[in-house]
Amino acid sequence: MNYIEHTGKYFMMLVQVFKKPQRARVFYDALFKEIEELGLKSLGIIMFISFFIGGVIALQTALNLDSPFIPDSLIGFAAKRSIILEFAPTFCSIILAGKVGSYITSSIGAMRVTEQIDALEVMGINSLNYLVLPKVLATVLFYPFLIVLAMILGIFGGWLTGVLSGLFSGVDYVTGLQTDFKPFLLVYSMVKTLIFAFFIATVPSYHGYYVKGGSIAVGKASTKAVVWTTILIVIANYFLTQMLLT
């Protein structure tokens, strides 16, 4: 019953979140601030991880191709599919769930325990709309660019690994990238990214907004928010793959 209660409160929260903002100028200022906090400040870790994971994928694929009958172009093909379908949208979203999710929960939770949210409500401000909607729009609008960047850097990291290690040539790698390219895979990846971004913004916001207690409770809520966001991303990934690729 506890899970049913939380699910109901989550959807009731969304109803308040998506009401029209009371002051457009204040809302736009908050939106650009959230884009900086939740998006731009995540560029570094996404770029770093994407580049090296792409190199690892290409390296492991090359080391496991022992048969002379398998062309080296398969390395580029495998790296392309792995990065576009799973690594960039799913793995990077899980990383962002940990980094961004904990920040969202702790920031809103700190406002709750210090009664700043109560002060907003006393002033007649829809606190959920004021605090959560800019975060939702910031993640949904900006994270597709992060994921596209992760794809580009991951594929480039795989190419550079082959050139530097000598395990395969850059020409064969590019040939594999061009083999059987399906634009719908990018659409599939973007659909996943948008849904995952929505979870990354709303689930931690829920845990932070309804936290009870002091600073210790905020820390526990941050951990719980990251865990549940990751669980929802994994479950949604399964069902989206079933619906869009089968």
**Does the residue 1 lie in any domain?**
no
**Total domains, the chain:** 1
pLDDT tens, 27-49? 889 999 999 999 899 999 999 99
Note the pTM of the prediction, 2 decimals: 0.91
Q: Hunting for tokens 């966001």 — which residue is that?
A: 229
State mean pLDDT over 149-158.
93
**Does the residue 11 lie in any domain?**
no
Confidence of residue 94 (pLDDT cuts 50, 70, 90): very high
Handedness of CA 59, 143, 85, 183 (dihedral sign): negative
**Does the residue 245 lie in any domain?**
no
**Does the residue 18 lie in any domain?**
no
Q: How far apart are CA 118 and CA 239, in angstroms?
A: 38
pLDDT of residue 193: 95
**Which range marks the domain in which residue 111 is found?**
26-240
**Does the residue 13 lie in any domain?**
no
- What's the mean pLDDT when you consider all of the chain? 89
Picking from 90, 118, 95, the residue whose alpha carbon sits closest to that of residue 43 is: 95
pLDDT at 66 over 80: no
